Amino acid sequence: MSMAEYLAEGSRRLGLGQFDEAEEAFRQGTCRFPNQPRFLERMAFVAYLQKDLPLARSRYESLAAAGVSGSLSGLGTVLAEMEDYDAVFALVSTHLEEFLAGPANPRFLSQSVNRARDLEKLRDVLLHPRVFHLLERGQILRKLFYFGDEDLVAEFFRSHADSYRTDFAVIGDSHAGSTFGTKVFSQRIPPVFVLPGATIAGFGKRKSTLGVFRNCHKVIAALNPSTLLFKFGQVNVDLGIYYRQFVKNMDINIGNFFIEITKNYIQSIIGLPNTTKYIVCGINMPTLVDTDTAAKYTSRVIFENKNDENLVKELHLKLQQNMPPYEERFQRSLLFNEILRATCEHHGIAYFDLVDLFCQDGKTLVPGIVRDDDHHYFLDDAWSCKVWNHVSEMTGLRELP
């Protein structure tokens, strides 16, 4: 049989799901044509399809060591399937130029950057001029934010000074990202630094799990923006209240709770360097209209660290029975913004919110910006432009999108 016939027979067997027979055909081809790597590639692929990942890894590693074209992508796929993300990053960072030249590079770069823990190699990857244009800016900013020191953040932005704004930045929880964030860097769109799950309580602590206070200083030191916009508080209102009530069994006076946390919020901002102007954006209105859906979403988040299944079911039922209707949750969010506005005005901090932009009657959200099972806004390009135009009007900042 010729080489083509061996390959065709193995491929035919693969198409029929006959993995052992396909393996044998490719093995025979290897014996007949020992210098032809295509048979070894197919055997590695067979091992991958059979979920024999250690064998697939071994075969792809041999091919990669021999410099066989395309084997790096196969090896990266196997390593990702094995959830050996350190190995994925080591592979990508070691063979960065090859991955940049290959068709699968964005996927492997994305996986490697998201999971990377080797900060020195991460620095090299993030500062590579071609990597910058392949990754979403949210990925880059998150990695810089969580793991980079001030020098790395500053070095990154200096390296790409022609691709981002220097005068304005946004920092906040995940709702800051969904409201202000975009996938690409732009000289007109400010960088948005997102800390998912960050609360105002964490903001006010010099040491917190998410390092909110430390990261605020990091952004200021690295970018030295003339204006920094804060968007925190959504986690406290949408989730924190219920966590206190149903996990910690605390009695809460909602108004007093809002007064306390907004005071701490603004006091923390006042304590930041006075070389930057600070602006506070109020929270978004709730998106989950259906009470049962809101209870299910909320319980999934606030009870995620509870290992006792029976306790979780009990707490979920209690939350479901006591979850306020949408109208009450909507008014609660408005109250938070009113108290936050008053606190900002008392301390001379600029404030605005997006309630008028997204609420058609003061009671409900405009259609098309939410999903039924998520408490974030989902904005298309047209809405994103409306948001930034509104920010420009409210803040006096010009040349925004």
Query: Which CATH superfamily hosts domain 162-401?
Result: SGNH hydrolase (3.40.50.1110)
Instruction: Tell me if residue 352 falls in helix, strand or coil.
Output: strand
Lookup: tokens for 189 = 């769109």
CA distance linking residue 107 with residue 105, whole number of Å: 6
Band of the pLDDT at 166, cuts 50, 70, 90? Answer: low
Q: What is the pLDDT of residues 93-147, one digit of tens each?
A: 788 777 777 655 556 666 666 666 666 677 677 667 666 666 666 666 666 666 6
**Angle value at C-alpha 109, between 164 and 168, nearest 5 degrees:** 15
CA distance linking residue 129 with residue 289, whole number of Å: 44
Task: Please answer whether residues 132 and 163 qualify as being in contact, where contact means their C-beta atoms are separated by less than 8 angstroms.
Answer: yes
pTM over 0.85: no
Band of the pLDDT at 354, cuts 50, 70, 90? Answer: very high
Q: At residue 346, does pLDDT exceed 50?
A: yes
Alpha-carbon distances of 145 from 23, 152, 218, 276, rounded to whole Å? 47, 10, 8, 19
DSSP 239-252: IIHHIIIIIS----
The CATH fold assigned to 1-82 is 1.25.40
CA distance linking residue 190 with residue 187, whole number of Å: 7
CA distance linking residue 342 with residue 259, whole number of Å: 10
1-82 and 162-401: identical CATH topology: no
Pick 66 or 346 by higher pLDDT: 346
Task: Please answer whether residues 1 and 25 qualify as being in contact, where contact means their C-beta atoms are separated by less than 8 angstroms.
Answer: no
Query: Residue 75: which of 94, 62, 57, 96 has the closest Cα?
Result: 57
Cβ neighbours around 397 below 10 Å, total: 19
Task: Please answer whether residues 294 and 329 qualify as being in contact, where contact means their C-beta atoms are separated by less than 8 angstroms.
Answer: yes
Mean model confidence pLDDT for the chain = 82
Lookup: tokens for 270 = 């006042």
Going from N- to C-terminal start, the domains of the chain cover 1-82, 162-401
Task: Please answer whether residues 135 and 100 qualify as being in contact, where contact means their C-beta atoms are separated by less than 8 angstroms.
Answer: no
DSSP 269-310: HHTS-TTSEEEEE-PPPP---SHHHHHHHHHHHHTTT---HH
For residue 201, give the amino acid letter: A
Q: What is the pLDDT of residues 381-394, one digit of tens each?
A: 888 888 888 888 87
Q: What is the pLDDT of residues 242-299, one digit of tens each?
A: 888 888 888 889 999 999 999 999 998 998 888 889 999 999 999 998 888 888 888 8
> What is the dihedral angle through the alpha carbons of 351, 243, 367, 353, rounded to the nearest 10 degrees?
0
Cβ neighbours around 161 below 10 Å, total: 9
CA distance linking residue 73 with residue 60, whole number of Å: 9
Task: Please answer whether residues 269 and 278 qualify as being in contact, where contact means their C-beta atoms are separated by less than 8 angstroms.
Answer: yes
Give one word for 17, left, alpha or beta, with left for phi > 0 and alpha for psi -120 to 50.
left
Task: Please answer whether residues 175 and 283 qualify as being in contact, where contact means their C-beta atoms are separated by less than 8 angstroms.
Answer: yes
Contacts of 267 (CB under 8 A, 6+ apart): 204, 347
